[in-house]
Structure formats: structure tokens, C-alpha cells
Copies of this chain bind each other. A is one copy, B any other.
Amino acid sequence: MKKIEHIGIAVHNLKASNELYEKLLGRPHYKVEEVDSEGVRTSFFQTGDSKIELLEASHPGSPVAKFLEKRGEGIHHIAFEVDDIRQEMKRLRDSGFQLLNDEPKMGADNKLVCFVHPKSAGGVLVELCQDAGP
């Protein structure tokens, strides 16, 4: 795990939350992206060497919609940058962590991603992400 790549935060309304987080962080978001595979619309704020990723559910029943229903708005996951996602997935599997996908999949921001089940990681939804390259 090289660094915190981003913190994912679940929000009800991306437009309203973009305004709120612009005030909080003192800078505007720099990108909006829809990730169909996850059922989310995302927006990104840079902060130091990491990002804040806001997540709005793009259809009911998506994981973020379920999170919002159960917990309300708030921190959804921590994503760590890795150099070699398959190697990190193997390392974690061998250490007893339960992965939510067997193979890396394409996430937001041109990343190969894999999630670790919060039940095996102290209640924290952990994402691994590796830059997918050009």
C-alpha cells in the first residue's frame, strides 16, 4: 500500500455536496465521472497527494444507495494506491482477508480496483487501486 489514493464519501445529492465540500476544502471539484459498473456518479477534489471522491447513487439498489439507506451520508471507503494490484490481492488473500472481487475491475479515474470485505478489515471498506495506464 503506497498511500491513501482517495477517501470515498457517500452523498445524497452530488450537486449540493459539491458546493458543501468546495466550502469545506476551500477549492472546487475538478472532475465528475459516472461509473456504470458501480452504479455511482462521482466527483473529485484534490487535497495534498490524495483525493476526496464524492459518491452519489445513480440507480436504486446500487451498493452506495444501500449504504445511504442504512447509514446516511458519510465516509464510505478508503482507497490505497498499489503498484501491482494482483500481487497485493494475493498478499491480502494469503493473510486471511476476504476480497469482494476475484479479479481487478475498472473503477473511476482510470483505475484497476478491488475491494476488501469490511468484515475482514475491522469494519472498513478498503479499496486497492492501481493506475490502469494509457
Task: Name A's B-contacting residues (CB within 8 A).
Answer: 1-4, 7, 9, 11, 17, 20-21, 23-26, 47-50, 71-75, 78, 80-81, 91-92, 95-97, 116, 118, 121-124, 126
Contacts and interface: CB of A to CB of B under 8 A. Distances in A.
Given A91-B26, A96-B23, A124 B74 contact: yes
Contact of A78 (B7, B49, B72, B91): B7
A21 B95 contact: no
Secondary structure dominating the interface of A: mixed
Within the oligomer, what is the number of copies of this chain? 2
A14 B116 CA distance: 21
B11 A122 contact: yes
Contacts of A126: 24
Nearest to A92: B24
A65 to B, nearest CB: 15
A110 to B, nearest CB: 19
Given A1-B25, A4-B4, A95-B23, A47 B80 contact: yes
A126 B75 CA distance: 11
Most chain B CB inside 10 Å of its own CB: which residue of A21, A75, A78, A81? A75
